[in-house]
Amino acid sequence: MKIKCEVINDLLPLYVDDVLSKESRELVEEHICECESCKKTLENMSGKVSLPVSPELRMDDTKPIKGLKKFMTKWKRLTAAVIVLAVIAVLFLSGMYASTKLIKIPYDGHNFTVELRDDRYCIVYHGSGSFGYSADGNTNTGEWNVEFYTTLLDKITDPVKPALRSLFNIKDYDYIPLCDRGDMTRLTTRSGKVIWEADEDGIKEFEDKHINNATG
């Protein structure tokens, strides 16, 4: 049934004040979609173009908002993923740095010694924590020099290593083989501190193994 403009005009003030029932509001909106005169009257009463006046138009006008919400949701997820990846990268690089950064362990006269085990000279560390070394020797003189070091990662994890070794039943080696018996007469640090020197028997073993064999 077609509603007269006079009836719609009577309802427009109530429509502007948003006090109409849902059915009456839909009736007004359906009419002004088809009637330019009543639409102009509504625009003059409200001082601006009215809100969407049909369900179809309302759906169309909400699309940009929904699109913006979807974009913001995706942006937030992307930002969170980037932050997580950045944190993982920082932790990974920090771990790499900690595991490769060498820290020298100075020789204090007691923390490193040389012992003969299974016919091999071995370096024994009497301090705490893990250690590594870099050594080279002269077969003509039997003199060796060495430098001891650890890593930042070892220093950080050393307090928990005993518990891990016990948990997984891993043997804790307290010495590192350096060279065979008769291959060394003296061991010093690279700065010149003497760690170990062979006795007469050790020097004779070296001479028999290297010097006498070379001249014989």
Q: What is the pLDDT of residue 31?
A: 86
Q: Are 11 and 45 in contact (CB under 8 A)?
A: no
pLDDT score, position 108: 92
- Nearest-angstrom CA–CA distance, 97 and 102: 9
> 10 Å Cβ neighbour count for 183?
17
- In this structure, the strands spanning 194-197 and 186-189 are antiparallel
- 200-213, pLDDT tens digit by residue? 999 999 999 887 76
pLDDT attached to residue 197: 95
Each residue of 147-164: pLDDT tens digit? Answer: 998 887 776 666 655 555
Q: Where are the domains of the chain?
A: 5-53, 61-99, 103-215
Question: Which of 51, 54, 60 has its CA nearest to residue 42?
Answer: 51
* Mean pLDDT rounded to a whole number for the chain: 80
pLDDT at 128 over 60: yes
Tell me the whole-structure pTM to 2 decimals.
Answer: 0.49
The mean per-residue pLDDT over the stretch 158-173 comes to 54
Which tens digits make up the pLDDT trace of 45-102? 876 444 444 555 555 555 566 667 777 788 888 888 889 988 888 887 776 666 667 8
